Structure 1
Amino acid sequence: MVNQALDDFLKTLDKGNFTNAPYIKKVEKPWGYELIFTPDNLPYTGKIIHINSGKRLSLQVHDKKQESYFLANGECNLIIENSKGNLETIKMEKGVGYTMLVGQKHRHQAVTDCDVFEVSTPESGNTYRLEDDFARSTETEEIRKDPNRGWST
């Protein structure tokens, strides 16, 4: 019975969509760069965020996107909104994950050069920048289509 169900499932697949081609897209940022390792047409996004020592990402909030992070190397602080609506600073620990829900304010701040893995829902909706060291405004879906998302480095 299980084999029949598997056979039926396999017959529904369009194997023409299967690929073993590598993929990477580098997006330069004023604080470092992102290496996006998932194609745009998937229902999720995976990336490595490289943050240069002493730099920080904007204090931001997403209207559609949820994210989870994992510190791969270096030292990084995560400034996040807690359940009372206050911002608190957490020293990220290697080996554990951190999740930001839709509408939750957050910011990364590199103590040393660091790499943070991020998995998320697709990059859709708006990223509202509440504070930004580089005077960048809200990132919209239209801006995401531009090389380096419209910002020079």
Structure 2
Amino acid sequence: MDGSSGGGRRVVKRVDKPWGYELIWAHTDRYVGKILHIEAGQALSYQYHRKKEETIYVLRGELILHYAAGGEDPQTLRLGEGEVFHIAPGLRHRFEAAAPVDLLETSTPELDDVVRLEDRYGRSDR
């Protein structure tokens, strides 16, 4: 059973990224659940979302989070295991790892809602 008619097992989808990988373990029309693995020394794009809202939970390691609201200057916050951060639409942010880090992310389902402001890997916004 694929769960499309109410419930059941799902297949976890692995998406390789230049900074590590994502494991998408839930994807419905109402929410998405992912595990993000960021390799040491790597970082995601400095980005924001127009509609997507997400909350992250640090499963393992320490996350370096750069973020800024509106016209504010970016701030840097270090989050350790068990800590949580909410990212509202419009909040500019970047996840970075000095050592390997695993994050649990729950979000609204707009996976393609990414506006990249800066990217180490030469990717442009979608």
TM-score of the pair, normalised by structure 1: 0.75
Counterpart of 2:21 in structure 1 is: 33
1:37 match: secondary structure: strand
**How far off its partner does 1:123 sit?**
2.1
Aligned residue type for 1:19: G
**How far off its partner does 1:82 sit?**
4.4
Deviations 1:67-98 (A, max 9, x none): 10000001220111147622111001222210
Percent identity, aligned pairs only? 37
Equivalent of residue 80 in structure 1, options 56, 62, 67: 67
Q: Which runs of 5+ in 1 are unaligned?
A: 1-15, 140-153
Counterpart of 1:102 in structure 2 is: 89
C-alpha change, 1:124 and 1:30, in structure 2 (3 Å) is closer
Counterparts of 1:2-151 in structure 2, within 5 Å, are: 17-39=5-27, 41-82=28-69, 85-124=72-111, 126-139=113-126
TM-score of the pair, normalised by structure 2: 0.90
Q: How many pairs align?
A: 124
Higher Rg of the two aligned structures: 1
User: Hey, which of these two has a bigger chunk of strand by percent?
Assistant: 2
Q: Which runs of 5+ in 2 are unaligned?
A: none
Tell me, in whole angstroms, the C-alpha distance in 2 between the residues paired with 1:73 and 1:53. Answer: 13
User: Hey, which of these two has a bigger chunk of helix by percent?
Assistant: 1
Instruction: State whether residues 70 and 91 of structure 2, in contact with CA within 8 Å, keep that contact through their aligned partners in structure 1.
Output: no
